Amino acid sequence: MPDRDPLARRPILPLLALLAFSACGPDLNLDAGEQLHPTDENAAPADAALITVGSEPVGLSAEALAEWRAARDRLLGARTTQALGTNRGEGPELFGMIGDVTFDRDGNVVVLDAVNYDVRIFRPDGSHLLSFGREGEGPMEFDTRPHSVTVLSDGRLLVGMRAEMKTFAPVAGGYEYLDRITVPSRDMCVSAAERVFVTVHHTRTSDRVLHEVNLTGDTTLSFGHGYLHEQWLIRNQLSDGTIACLDNPPAVLFAFSEHPILRLHRPGEDDPVWTAALEDYVQPFYAGAIDGSHIRMLSNSAEIVDKPHPFGKSHIVLQTGYRRLLSLRVRTYLVDAATGQGALISDDFPRIMRMFPGRFVAGWNDPYPRIEVREIP
């Protein structure tokens, strides 16, 4: 399945494919021997929490609702303190596509460019410090598109790709290659205790989508069901999703990319702590051959769920992107981490690349790739 990201890292669908779809609505006609997806068994359970398009979540206690309101106001009140990105000339601020962003131990901004296959580091004042990487098979290169970058407590950079990870160590004047770790992933997160979790549905015999891995390439835990179906091809394609690591207590949040369902898991447990469903979601539909020989998209428009982000100890920020022809709608939700209940807080907020204590990084790819660091009051 090709890479997809609704808001910045990857396009939802190629533009030509979008233009080729009929403008009069989804065609859900099935050919002989096909089945419509998602199936009923993959719908959210009846007792799922609700992430509503209303102005406030339902079912929260008075105390939890007051905390939710305060978190919403703080997030929406964030102010820009640093901006990077240009559409003029040449140089390190001319990005191809913002893949991921983090900070190193010195407060420098680390930007992963998913088109140019490189890592670019900028000082807190915005000046360029160094860059490394390009597409290729060498030690300091990336042979598949990188999707995630994380700085570990000892200063190492961990870069995730679909087929593997690589680690790089800081040295005088830059970074040096340390190791190649053969762990496939569609997304990854690293907990405060530096436990590494990835999401990938890469075997023909298992329907687990969450895996804890170590930096030697071993999988230590596999848990959490993906899309349920007897055919591997369909399970694999429709299990695409993103994850976030939560702490205190440790948990992993899985968000299906193309289904309005979120699940919070304790590491190693298949049954989620809670399941939440997004309201008023523009569901993408697929037709899959019953014999598993093919799967094809039916919808002419679709909403895609973006990477979730923990916001403090008690909340989660989730965004979705809905693209139809040349327009893009971004919806931002704030979710109570204890229950999964949440509500829409904005339909014009920028895409959040990564959240940190007291700040977050917002990113755009249109009309040109750029980021802003925003401080949270």
Whether the predicted pLDDT of 12 surpasses 60: no
Q: What's the rounded Cα separation, in Å, for the pair 366 and 255? A: 24
Model pLDDT, residue 332: 98
CATH number reported for the structural domain that contains residue 61 in this entry: 2.120.10.30
pLDDT higher than 50, residue 4 = no
Residue 299's pLDDT band (boundaries 50, 70, 90)? Answer: confident
CB 199 within 8 A of CB 186: yes
Rg for the chain, CA atoms, rounded: 20
Residue 44 DSSP symbol: P
Neighbouring residues of 310: CB distance < 8 A, sequence distance ≥ 6: 244, 245, 246, 247, 253, 316, 337, 355
Indicate the range of 13-17, 41-45, 180-184, 343-347 predicted with least confidence. 13-17
**In the chain, % of residues over pLDDT 70:** 90
**Domain annotation covers residue 12:** no
- Per the domain annotation, does 323 fall within a domain? yes
> Is 302 domain-assigned?
yes
pLDDT in tens, 308-323: 999 999 999 999 998 7
Q: Say yes or no to pLDDT of 246 above 60.
A: yes
- Residue 203 pLDDT: 64
Look at residue 126 and tell me if it is in a domain: yes
pLDDT digits over 127-179, tens only? 999 999 999 999 999 999 999 999 999 999 999 998 899 999 999 989 999 99
- pLDDT tens digit string along 34-73? 999 999 999 999 999 999 999 999 999 999 999 999 999 9
Please give the tally of structural domains in the chain: 1
Predicted confidence band of residue 300 (pLDDT cuts 50, 70, 90) = confident
- Token look-up 């890592």 returns 119
CA distance 7 to 47: 30
Give the structural domain span for 181: 49-375
Q: Give the mean pLDDT of 118-124.
A: 97
Domain-located, residue 36: no
Q: What is the mean pLDDT of residues 353-372?
A: 94
Per-residue pLDDT at 196 exceeds 90: yes
What pTM was computed for the model?
Answer: 0.91
In a domain, residue 265? The reply is yes
When mean pLDDT is compared across 32-41, 117-126, 181-190, 325-334, the lowest value belongs to: 325-334
- Assigned domain for 35 exists: no
Give the model's pLDDT for residue 41.
95
Is 40 among the domain residues? Answer: no
- Which of 177, 170, 169, 101 has its CA nearest to residue 134? 177
Tokens of 83: 């901006």
pLDDT for position 324: 63
